[in-house]
Amino acid sequence: MLDQQIELYATEPLELLAEAIARLSHHAADQLSETEAEFMPRLRRLQRAQQAAREAVRAAEEAVARAEEDDDRRSSEAALQDAEENERRLDAAMDDVQSALGHYKAQARELDSARRGAFSEAVRHLQNVVSNAKAYRAITIESGASDDLSGGVAAQQTPVDEPDISATPLPPDFVWVPLSRIAPDQFVDFSVEPPKGVEAQTIERGMRRFYADVLPILNANPDTTFDDLVEIDRARGTLRTTDGFVHPESLSNLSEIFLFGGDVMAGYVDAAGEYHLHSGRHRATMARDLGMTHVPILVPRRRERE
């Protein structure tokens, strides 16, 4: 239990880190906008000064051409030299500014790309970790469940009245597998091999809710998708909590664990007809200990042929 508690205690610094990354992202966006807003008026003033310098050169050239007296000519030529020098300095300054602007734009593109990509992905990942941990902590364990998991949980759990699932549709490549056909060595001893990142009672709660809440929806509409469950959550107000994290009663979040996510129960069947699991051994054990008879397992056709 200590490992799970430590992971839950870590949610506070993770949440602060997510907020810090989000603030950094917003600050970067604000800084880019502020820099551009401050830079452009100054660039336009430099452009106007550059244009005025060119006009001064043309005026000085015309004055030299019109000068008839030597003194006037010498004075006009000196003014022309000053105007040309001023123009050269402004042209050099503009070259420096344009070079700096090109460098800034390249750096700004990289920063904005990171802000929209890596920053956002980091925030989403941390928010998911924190929201899942918060959901685990928010779950109310039924009074019949026991904290004593020594020697497994079979003797500690209240059996579940499993609904008739023979006709319940599943997504492609999923099959209802009788627990009696799962190889015995695929089940775990919770006291020896506790689940990672979640307590056994949380698995029990999720297993009960999956059969009680999700399966009736699948029976009522065989074409139910993950997006449909998201819409049901949204209508019920169980998609997100007020602070933006996954709601502990979310059906779509629960369905990811069993049917639509990347860590569903998955495995293959051997030549003897026994199933071996790549993932979901704790869930299979919990289902057995709750008195269930079947679990949904992803068995890709290629694996099944093998």
For 2-138, CATH number out of 2.60.40, 1.10.3210, 2.60.120, 1.10.287 equals 1.10.287
CA 272 to chain centre: 42
Tens digits of per-residue pLDDT, 118-161? 656 665 666 665 555 555 444 433 333 334 433 444 444 544 55
Position 226 pLDDT exceeds 60: yes
Residues 6+ apart with CB under 8 A from 209: 254
Q: List the chain domain ranges.
A: 2-138, 174-305
Q: What is the pTM of this model?
A: 0.48
Tens digits of per-residue pLDDT, 251-284? 998 999 999 988 899 999 999 899 999 999 999 9
Number of Cβ within 10 Å of residue 290's Cβ equals 20
| Contact between residue 8 and residue 133 where contact means Cβ atoms under 8 Å apart | yes
Say which residue, 37 or 229, is predicted with more confidence. 229
CA 293 to chain centre: 36
Tens digits of per-residue pLDDT, 283-304? 999 999 988 889 999 998 754 4
| Contact between residue 189 and residue 294 where contact means Cβ atoms under 8 Å apart | no
pLDDT of residue 118: 62
pLDDT of residue 304: 42
- Distance (Å, rounded) from C-alpha 4 to C-alpha 260? 25
Element holding 177 (H helix, E strand): strand 174-178
Phi, psi of 81 (to 5 degrees): -60, -45
Tens digits of per-residue pLDDT, 37-65? 777 788 888 888 889 989 998 998 888 88
